Amino acid sequence: MTFARVMNLINRVLEEQISENWNSLIDEIDSITPQSDRPKVIAVSKTRPIEYIEIAAKLGIKDFGENYAQELSSKHKALSTLNLNWHFIGNLQRRHVKEVVSTAALIHAVSSIKVIEKFGSLSSQIPFLIQYNLSKEESKSGVNSYEEIIALKEKSDDLKLKCVGLMVMSNPNWTSEVKLKKFREGYEVAEEVFGSSVIYSAGMSDDWKEALTAGATHLRIGTRIFGKRE
């Protein structure tokens, strides 16, 4: 068998696997919530080869999530003809703001006044979310209190920026019941601060059901779609 035929076979198997994973995920989501309320599913493509994203795009997936500014820029450029929506889901640092706002459709993890001030200096109108640290762990990024969320939101409003919701993560050691409780607490804060049109980015491959039940509007799912990383 020639190398080309081997690669074609590998790509066909990969395409079938991603397609099966995606369709199964959507069926499960639709069994929990009406299609009219289906959340936006972001295929987390960080560290995944370009070929994975091309296959997913053929299936109709339009939203992809990246954690690193340089990788986001590289993939955005390489796949520019596909008209994809890129989400920056890593903790955003000030030095990467200019690079990220030139490529992302939505930025999920802002947690400092300095980053917001940088948005302001660039007159950026890219919508972004405040990262809220549900677990209050010192090792985790994000703000830890309601007061900090209000401070960042007010600074954003002063600069006429588009701060539109919250992004949260659970602790992998929490039980399903605790995850659901914490996600609900996060949603209540998000709705109180941002109103009923809030974007609430919550839930990954291992806890998306709890997040969806709690009110998530955006799910960040990688492994469930693309399989485990080697």
CATH code at position 85 = 3.20.20.10
Q: For a pLDDT cut of 70, what percent of the chain falls above it?
A: 95
**pLDDT tens, residue by residue, 177-204:** 999 999 999 999 999 999 989 999 999 9
* 190: nearest Cα among 116, 125, 112, 132: 132
* 29: nearest Cα among 174, 175, 225: 225
For 101-112, what is the mean pLDDT? 96
Please give the Cα distance from 218 to 195 (Å, whole number): 16
Contact 25, 205 (CB under 8 A): no
Please name every residue paired with 67 in a beta bridge, in sequence order, or none if there are none: none
Please give the Cα distance from 61 to 57 (Å, whole number): 5
| Greatest Cα pair distance in the chain | 64
Q: Which two tokens stand for residue 176?
A: 């399903």
For the cut 80, the answer to whether the pLDDT of residue 214 exceeds it is: yes
Residue 140 pLDDT grade (very low, low, confident, very high; cuts 50, 70, 90): confident
Number of domains in the chain: 1
Which helix (H) or strand (E) covers residue 101, if one does?
helix 97-101
Residue 136 pLDDT grade (very low, low, confident, very high; cuts 50, 70, 90): confident
Contact 200, 23 (CB under 8 A): no
For the cut 50, the answer to whether the pLDDT of residue 6 exceeds it is: no
pLDDT at 9: 53
pLDDT at 3: 46
pLDDT at 5: 54
pLDDT at 28: 96
For the cut 70, the answer to whether the pLDDT of residue 2 exceeds it is: no
Which helix (H) or strand (E) covers residue 173, if one does?
none
Residue type, 103: T
Question: Which residue range forms the structural domain that includes residue 141?
Answer: 3-226
Residue type, 213: T
pLDDT at 188: 97
* 110: nearest Cα among 174, 57, 155, 176: 155
